[in-house]
Structure formats: C-alpha cells, structure tokens
Amino acid sequence: MISVKNVSKSFENKAVLNNVSADFEPAKVNMIIGKSGSGKTVLLKSLVGLHEIDSGAILFSGIDFCSLKVKEKAKIRREVGMLFQGGALFDSATILENILYPLDLFTNKTYREKYQRVKFCLDRVNLQGVEKLYPAELSGGMQKRAAIARAIALNPKYLFCDEPNSGLDPQTAIVIDKLIQEITYEFNITTVVNTHDMNSVLESSDNINFIHQGKSWWYGHKEELLNTDNEELKQFLFSSEVMRRIKR
Amino acid sequence: MKFFEQLGRYFIFITQVFRKPEKSAVWFRQFVRELQTLGVNSVGIVILVSIFIGAAITIQTAYNMDNPLYPRYLVSLTTRDTLLLEFSSTIIALILAGKVGSNIASEIGTMRITEQIDALEIMGVNSASFIVSPKVFALVIFMPVLVIISIFVGIIGGWVSAILSGVVTTKDFVYGIQLEFKPFYIPYSLIKSVVYAYIIVTVSAFHGYYAKGGALDVGKSSTKAVVHSSILVLLFDLLLTQLILS
Ligand SMILES: Nc1ncnc2c1ncn2[C@@H]1O[C@H](COP(=O)(O)OP(=O)(O)OP(=O)(O)O)[C@@H](O)[C@H]1O
Ligand SMILES: [Mg+2]
C-alpha cells in the first residue's frame, strides 16, 4: 500500500502538484489519468524521490519515504520496478545485459541462475531471441516489453508504469495492458499506471485517480467513470466522439 | 553568481562520484570497458597527431636555427624538450578534451534525457558513481600511457621529417636526443597528464549529468564540456608549470 498525502511540488515557482492525495492498493492496477501536462509523470517520479516534493508525505506500507536516509531510500527503491515513458533501456548494453544489471547489482546468484531469471522475465513479456540485440534494434513495443522485463527482474513489490502503451498500435497496447494486469495479480504487486489512454483505463484499471491542474480531482472505479457528474472529468473523458457514443 | 552556483554543484557532484560502488565486480567490468573506449580507442588519434606535431616542431626549429653557428643537434634536443614539457601532455589533452570530452558529455547527457539515469536511481544505484567513476579511473590511468606513446611517436615523426627534408642528419638527430636529457621532465609531463585526464572526465561528465531538455540541449552540453575542459586544461597547465618547474 502506498499513500500519498497532500503532496505539493513546484518547479521554479511554477506549481505542478497541488495537495495531491491518493492511495495505491496492493494487487490492484491503480491508474492515474489526466490531460497531458497535468503532472502525472511528476507525481510518479515524486513517489520514489526522483523529484523532491515541497510538502506532504509519501508512505510505503506506512513508512514515510521522504524522511528516510539515502541508504534506506535505496532499499525501498530496490523493491520498485519502474517503466519509464520512453522505456529507458541502457542503450550501450544488450537486452540481456539490461535485464542482468539489477540482478548483478543486487543478488548473489550464479550466472546460470541470473540467466534463467532473464529468460523467465523475457518469456513473461513474450520476447524471444532478442537477448543479444541492442535496444535500438528493437521496435518501440518490443523495447517497452523489454523494459517491463527489466522492471520485474527483481520481483518488485511496487511497479510504476508511465504511459506503458503510448506510441503503440492498439493491439500491442492491449497486450501490454494485459501483461501489466496479469503480473500485478500474479505477484501481488502494488501497480501504479499513468495513462491518458481511455481504452486501457476501461480495460484494465482497478482504481482510478483523475488529476486535473495538479490537484486530485476525482477517485473511483471504471464502472463509475462513465456516469460521473464531475464536469472536468466528463470533459476529459468525452472529448472524443467514440467515447460519447460508448456512453449512449 | 551563476559561476559559483555551478562550481558548488560541481563539487557536490564530485562527492557523489567517489562514493563506494555497489558491487566491485560490476564496477570493474565497467572500468575495463571504459579503458577500451576512452583509452585504447584514443591511441590512433594520439599517434596521428603526435607524428605531425613532432615533424612540425623539428622543421620549424630547423628553419629558425638556420644559422651555421648553431649546431644541428640542437634541433632534435628542442623537439624532445618541447614534446616532453608541453606538447605530449597539453596538446594531447586538448585533443582528448574534444574527442573524449564530447563523447562522455553526450553519452551521459543522452542517458539523462532518456531517463536512463532515473532508471539507475530507481534500481537503488548511485548513478553518478556508477557511470562516472569507472571513466575517471580509466582515463587517469591510461592518460600517462598515451603521453608516453605521444613522446616516442613525436620524436620519430621529427626524425622522419628531418631526414625527408634533409635539415638534420640522423647522427646529429640522435646525438641531440640524448644530449642533456633531464629525466625529471618525464614525471613532470605525466603528472600534468593525470590532472588533465581528471579534469576532462569530471567536467564533461558534470555537463552531461545535468543536461536537461532534448537532443539539442545534449549537443549544447557537450559543446560546453569541450570548451570548459579545454580552458581548464590550459589554466592548469600554467598553474602546474609554475608549481613544479619554478
Ligand atoms: N524537471 C522539470 N522542470 C520544470 N518543469 C517541469 C519538470 N518536469 C515537469 N515539469 C512541468 O510539470 C508539468 C507536468 O508535467 P508532467 O510531465 O508531469 O505531465 P504529464 O501529466 O506526465 O503529461 P504527459 O501525459 O504529456 O506525459 C508540465 O507543465 C511540465 O512543464
Ligand atoms: Mg508524462
């Protein structure tokens, strides 16, 4: 369980997050939705201290992350797997090496065991025969999947995904959504997903946090989403003709 | 004001770089890789540049000493000392500031803007030390090797040009090379080169590490890396020369 309590964050007196609160539950796909520029990425990065927050608290199973020392922060971070908006694979390393990195750094397994773990993770995301390739040699969707494989290599307790299916075709996008959902349930992960893709919200979300202008605006489940009377949320949801038709 | 802010950030960055690495085996593997990319891969350009510098010094000195009163062996003596005192350390450092410096800044800058550095931090790795310290140690250790190569190749370049242009005979050239050789020039040159290597890597890495924005900004930070490390190399050339030789 991750609790975000009244978090504010600004960059050079430009307020981005304004008193945001949210609870992210274990074994659930917790989604953060909102317009481009509403502060989703900043919130996700603030959770693990990639941005320092100005005020508020972030609790990992009750432990206040921000008050921890560098070493203890690192310990929690090791339980976090993160999928970045652009994949963020190390481009000077092969896919195999990319996924080996966390294993090399934080386990004492033999090479054989580590290799099997890599294989397992790659299989899990349906990638075969790419170990020797470099990230630049994979397609965007394959890179995303490889990045997921890396994120789950150490059996994370928390999985953060920043727009996991942006820039992907609808079919691949669904594959990735499903994958995230499956591993969340399978390994009891507290998953937080940023997205503005309504399709994946309706497909695979358990809890939904709507962020608007840096504030927590709405919270609920997908069943309640379509019947909301929240004006801003309605505007966000039904900006497209298709969504308006779904509603009717 | 901005300058002091930068300076402060640089020193904070340095303290991060020299934190103990997470796992020595992984560190060592990175180190060996950097020895290859930063060191071994620079041998070619060092040889090329040194041949031409040696040749140019020899020919210039020969024409400047076109007076029959000067013995011809002074030409090779001058070539040797110029290479030892200045060129093989400082000029090579300037060349490497261009080659290695821009390479480091753009590599790390790209890692920054494509969130690879964030990805490392998320793994609980101290990214500054993980990425930068193997580079620092690799170049600091390999730089003296490059300087020694440069001195030898420079002298050979001078000798070849002397023969081809006929300004000095081989006999005079060899005599001059051995004449009044001050062994202390060699450690002097190597000490300078080690300082230069440290400057080039840390300054370039600093600019890359704090890059933000897009590809264009990475380009800008790598230009800054080259300019700043070149200026610092020249500044420290002056300081160290004062300090050691006087
Ligand atoms: N490092 C930073 N420095 C200054 N401003 C920033 C920084 N990071 C983000 N911002 C600003 O914060 C705001 C929110 O950005 P953020 O990346 O969180 O949006 P987002 O909701 O993730 O959008 P998208 O859906 O397009 O990814 C933007 O206006 C952006 O300009
Ligand atoms: Mg974003």
Which pLDDT band, with edges at 50, 70 and 90, does A245 fall under?
confident
B13 within some domain: no
A91, B22: Cβ pair inside 8 Å? Answer: no
Q: Do A102 and B123 touch (CB under 8 A)?
A: yes
DSSP annotation of B21: P
Integer Cα distance of A169 and A175 in angstroms: 10
Helical H segments across chain B, by residue range: 2-17, 24-34, 43-64, 73-82, 92-96, 102-113, 116-122, 127-165, 170-178, 185-209, 215-245
Condensed to tens digits (0 to 9), the pLDDT of residues B181-212 reads 888 899 999 999 999 999 999 999 999 999 98
Residue A39 phi/psi, 5-degree rounding, is 110, 15
Which ligand 1 atom lies nearest to the CA of residue A42? 18
Q: Do A48 and B122 touch (CB under 8 A)?
A: yes
What range defines the domain where residue B108 resides?
35-245
- Domain assignment present for residue B27? The answer is no
DSSP H or E stretch at residue A114: helix A111-124
If you take atom 18 of ligand 1, which residue's CA is the nearest one? A39
**pLDDT of res. A165:** 85
Asked if B161 and B54 count as a contact pair (C-beta separation under 8 A), the reply is: yes
Q: How much of chain A, in percent, has pLDDT values that exceed 90?
A: 57
Total length of chain B = 246
**Do residues A32 and A209 lie in contact, with contact meaning Cβ atoms separated by under 8 Å?**
yes
Give the torsion through C-alpha atoms of B51, B56, B59, B62, to 10 deg. Answer: -110
Pick from A9, A40, A197 the residue to mutate for probing ligand 1's pocket: most ligand atoms within 8 Å of its CB: A40
Instruction: For chain A, report the end-to-end CA distance as a whole number of angstroms.
Output: 36
Question: With an 8 Å Cβ cutoff, are B121 and A50 in contact?
Answer: yes
Q: CA of B26 to nearest chain A CA: how many angstroms apart?
A: 7
pLDDT attached to residue A80: 92
Q: Does any domain span residue B30?
A: no
- Banded model confidence at residue A82, pLDDT cuts 50, 70, 90: very high
Residue B132 counted as domain residue: yes
Q: Is the pLDDT of residue B67 over 90?
A: no
Nearest CA in chain A to B33: A92
Summarised one tens digit per residue, pLDDT across range B89-99 is 999 999 999 99
Rounded to an integer, the average pLDDT of B21-35 is 91
pLDDT at A97: 94
Domain count, chain B: 1
* CA distance, residue B23 to nearest chain A CA (Å): 6
Q: How many CB contacts within 8 angstroms connect chain A with chain B?
A: 56
The torsion angles phi and psi of B115, rounded to 5 degrees, stand at: 65, 15
On whether ipTM exceeds 0.90, the answer is no
Longest Cα–Cα distance in chain A: 58
Whether A11 lines ligand 1, by a CB cut-off of 6 Å, is yes
Side-chain-facing half-sphere of A178: CA atoms under 13 Å:
9
Which amino acid is residue A63, in one-letter code?
Answer: I
Question: pLDDT band at B127, cuts 50/70/90?
Answer: very high
Judge whether residue B39 has pLDDT over 90: yes
> Which pLDDT value is given to residue A13?
85
Place of tokens 């075709």: A169
Pairing of strands A207-212, A190-195: unpaired
pLDDT score of A247: 73
SS3 at position A49: coil
Q: What 8-state DSSP symbol labels residue B20? A: P
Contacts of B116 in chain A (CB under 8 A): 88-91
Alpha-carbon distance B117 to nearest alpha carbon in chain A (angstroms)? 8
Q: At residue A243, does pLDDT exceed 80?
A: no
Residues of A with CB under 8 A from a CB of B: 45, 48, 50, 73-75, 77-78, 80-82, 84-86, 88-92, 101-102, 104-106
Question: Which residue in B115, B117, B118 has the most chain A C-beta atoms within 10 A of its own C-beta, making it the best mutation to test that interface?
Answer: B115
Q: What is the pLDDT of residue B65?
A: 82
B8 in a domain, yes or no?
no
Q: Are strands A28-33 and A55-60 parallel, antiparallel or unpaired?
A: unpaired
- Give the pLDDT confidence score for residue B196 in this predicted structure: 96
Q: Tell me whether residue B10 is in a domain.
A: no
From residue B146, alpha-carbon distances to A20, B46, B88 in Å are: 56, 7, 8
Q: What is the DSSP string of A142-210?
A: HHHHHHHHHHHTT--SEEEEESTTTTS-HHHHHHHHHHHHHHHHHTT-EEEEEE--HHHHHHH-SEEEE
Per-residue model confidence (pLDDT) at position B154: 94
**Coil vs helix vs strand at B230:** helix
Q: What's the pLDDT at B180?
A: 86
All residues of chain B having their beta carbon less than 8 Å from the beta carbon of residue A102 are 123
A196 lines ligand 1 (CB under 6 A): yes
Q: B110 vs A91, B36, B61, B156, CA distance in Å? A: 10, 20, 45, 40
Has residue A190 got a pLDDT over 90?
A: yes
By DSSP bridging, strand A2-11 and strand A55-60 are: antiparallel
Per-residue pLDDT of A220-232, as tens digits, reads: 898 888 888 888 8
> Quick check: is B67 in a domain?
yes
pLDDT digits over A114-133, tens only? Answer: 999 999 999 888 888 999 99
Residue B26 lies in a domain: no
Average pLDDT over residues B4-19: 93
